[in-house]
Structure 1
């Protein structure tokens, strides 16, 4: 738990109301999502009991397995669920859009939108993953045929479950994780896993949360008392009222799911949320076209090279998602300021037309001086980025502590670098400066000299507004959205037999 989150939890306890820990929404909320609330039979591995699904809050469809141990009933359930999910997924294939590639030299086509699936909690994602694995390899002919929609359901569920592992993806989302990303309560993380309690903390407060602690569960597991006292007798005598009992059990969660969506929609979307959704549309387009072309089901398990490549993609996505959240949200970025990975300050000096002519050709390298009252924990030579100018790099030239007792005025010129590898610059430099008053409160200040590169155009004169002006308030951080190329992986045929490659046979002596 971070420092700011711990503080927000303490404030939630004191006030009895959940506290916001984000100023923007960090995920995409679809205008027409598919909400799915699965319910499984207790004591049976991935035995579906019921599901409530639909895209209209007023018209949920209830699917029930009256005898969860009956194989035919399970596949009738899977058939209907497959019809709903596949029809929803296919409904986004009627409109396409052109996306420029290779810096506008070419275009590629993808679907203009993508589906979005919502479940109440992470356990619902695990249920869908297991149910997808148990259905995607079923055959539509042979000894035990199943409807065509069943293996299609399994492949789509596997696709959505795999996408849920990708940080920043919004194809499959859980309500409790989405709420926990933007609010914190005064209770434990285990208690936050109950959707009704978490939502009550946010909407009404702690008193309302206590009132719903023993309410209907959000699935996929059922309550043991409900299983023993209500469910078991109904299943044993095949009671016709079973459907209505399950509907009454699931409807409170159904209502809370849509209230969660409405609550999230009130938050403004972060600047980079749309960019991540474009990646989701790419993933959806690729998989949808793969299925339409008759591609094989996803393997039961990845090979060594495929697993390593997937892990590499997930690590890259996690790093990129953390940076994007920090750049979108000042509250998230504040965590990095507390840890010393970022600092905020005001530009006190600027040399926007400084040119470095020590190399084969002159290059534009402006310098600025930033004064900050925050502890600066970066060494000279460190590359920094400002969220307001993410394409521009700022190399730390020097960090100087300002003595508050001396109260020295701002220098008349940006001092030359004292680094051994410092490069000389053109003598023709226009300097702008602002007077800096001394710190009367005794707060320690730091002057950070930065050299800028990138994001200023291709000429020796910076484009207007590309160089921070004197008096501008900025945040600099070691975080960067810069693309990082992954490591090279071998071909599967070049790996040893222990990792899926061909076995090695030694020739016996003649």
Structure 2
């Protein structure tokens, strides 16, 4: 936990309400997100029990699995879920836009918008990932056939689960993560995973403190769990009798309809409070202005959505159960680059996030006292524009002479530290030589060089392009990592050792 977040948590506990740790919203919120609140059956490995799905507060559709141990009913549930999710995804595939590539010499196309899935918590993301894994390899023919939409939905759910691992992605968002990214509560990080308690701190009801609202939310009779896990007392006293009544009515159609209606009633009662909390949380996030670089990260989600849609349209196969050595290394490298870029972008967008880096010495704020915008360096083969400015700061400057800094106001401009002069009054004078972001001439355009009196935030963090690492092709996998993948005569990859091999798979 960072120093400022720890302080914000202490202040939240003292004030009785969550404290903001961001001034802008660091994620994209779609105009019409698909909210999905799942429930799983306790004691059965990844057995879906019910889900409440919809794109508006008054557009909730309940899906129920009366007997979660019955695989036919489970896949029927997935087919019904596909009947909601797939049309929602197809609704974003109508209009494309041209995107310049190769410095404008060519173009590529991507969809103008992309879908967004919202679940209550990280456990909901895991639920969708496992549901995708258990369905994307199913076949609509042969033994144990399923509806053709089942494997297609499995591939899309796997896509969203993989995007959820990508730092800065907004394709699949756990609401508890989104809220804790912007507010600090007076409870532990584990307690923040409980959506009712978290919202009790962020938006407590009138006349109650955040601690009182969170304590009330811990009572499952008042605030049912946000899923996918259910409350054990509910399982034993309400759900089990309702499921037993449904099972006992197998020979009586009228009794079965009554039993199914009872199951729907009790499960809707468990899901509706979370459904309402989801939209309440969305409203709180939507009230925050988006950060300047949020749109750029959403462009990455649109690119990924377009790429996966084109892969499916071309008849591409499902995602592998396990990445090969090279694919795993490439994926890890891509996630590391995205994490670095995401941290820098958040700091550039938000002074509260940048404050953390000021505490660690990675940034400081100062006032420009002197500026020489017309300085030219003619020591090389040709003269180049190299203005210099002097910045005076009261904060510690923990960078050496020769270090390169960037200004949050002009991220394309480098500032090289030329002199560091501590003053007797606790201030530090920093002389910087500027390069970049001023055109190619010997005269700086207005506004490209900071003027005297301007306040700057200078940091060692850079949002510059990060080069992609070099990796061998899959067929050139080193022997230390298993060697090249061996394929069957028909070109299909072999099964990976350790994968489940049940008869019905």
Q: What TM-score do the two structures reach when normalised by structure 2?
A: 0.91
Superposed counterparts of 1:28-107, under 5 Å: 28-107=28-107
- Which residue matches 1:422? none
- Which residue matches 1:407? none
- Which residue matches 1:232? 240
Q: Determine which of 194, 212, 234 is the counterpart of 1:207.
A: 212
Find out whether 1:116 has 2:116 as its counterpart: yes
1:201-224 superposed Cα distances (whole Å, 9 cap, x missing partner): 111132222222212010001111
- Which residue matches 1:386? 407
- Which residue matches 1:218? 226
- SS for the counterpart of 2:190 is helix
- Which residue matches 1:252? 273
- Which residue matches 1:18? 18
Indicate conservation of the 8 Å contact 2:341/2:463, yes or no: yes
- Which residue matches 1:455? 437
Indicate conservation of the 8 Å contact 1:497/1:503, yes or no: no
Larger radius of gyration: 1
**Structure 1 unaligned residues grouped into runs of 5+:** 405-443, 505-510
- Which residue matches 2:418? 397
| Superposition CA RMSD, Å | 1.2
Number of matched residues? 465
- SS for the counterpart of 1:189 is coil
Indicate conservation of the 8 Å contact 1:492/1:500, yes or no: no
1:310-344 superposed Cα distances (whole Å, 9 cap, x missing partner): 00000000000000000000000000001110000
Distance 1:271 1:19 in 2: 22
- SS for the counterpart of 2:448 is coil
Distance 1:293 1:145 in 2: 23
Distance 1:502 1:292 in 2: 28
Distance 1:189 1:209 in 2: 13
1:90-136 superposed Cα distances (whole Å, 9 cap, x missing partner): 11001111222233333221100000000000000001101100000
- Which residue matches 1:165? 165
- SS for the counterpart of 1:253 is helix
Q: Determine which of 353, 374, 383 is the counterpart of 2:374.
A: 353
Name which of structure 1's ranges 180-189 and 104-113 shifts more when overlaid on structure 2: 104-113
Indicate conservation of the 8 Å contact 1:52/1:63, yes or no: yes
**CA-CA distance at 1:144 after TM superposition:** 1.3
**CA-CA distance at 1:497 after TM superposition:** 4.0
- SS for the counterpart of 2:458 is strand
Find out whether 1:487 has 2:469 as its counterpart: yes
Distance 1:207 1:496 in 2: 58
- SS for the counterpart of 1:396 is strand
- SS for the counterpart of 1:237 is helix
Indicate conservation of the 8 Å contact 2:376/2:386, yes or no: yes
Distance 1:491 1:344 in 2: 46
Distance 1:266 1:496 in 2: 51
**Structure 2 unaligned residues grouped into runs of 5+:** 205-209, 247-258, 487-505
Distance 1:473 1:5 in 2: 25
Indicate conservation of the 8 Å contact 1:347/1:472, yes or no: yes
**CA-CA distance at 1:503 after TM superposition:** 9.1
Distance 1:226 1:84 in 2: 28
Distance 1:207 1:226 in 2: 23
1:403-448 superposed Cα distances (whole Å, 9 cap, x missing partner): 12xxxxxxxxxxxxxxxxxxxxxxxxxxxxxxxxxxxxxxx00000
Q: Determine which of 277, 288, 292 is the counterpart of 2:309.
A: 288
Indicate conservation of the 8 Å contact 2:474/2:485, yes or no: no
CA pair 299-366 structure 1, distance change in 2 beyond 3 A: same
- Which residue matches 2:499? none
CA pair 248-500 structure 1, distance change in 2 beyond 3 A: same
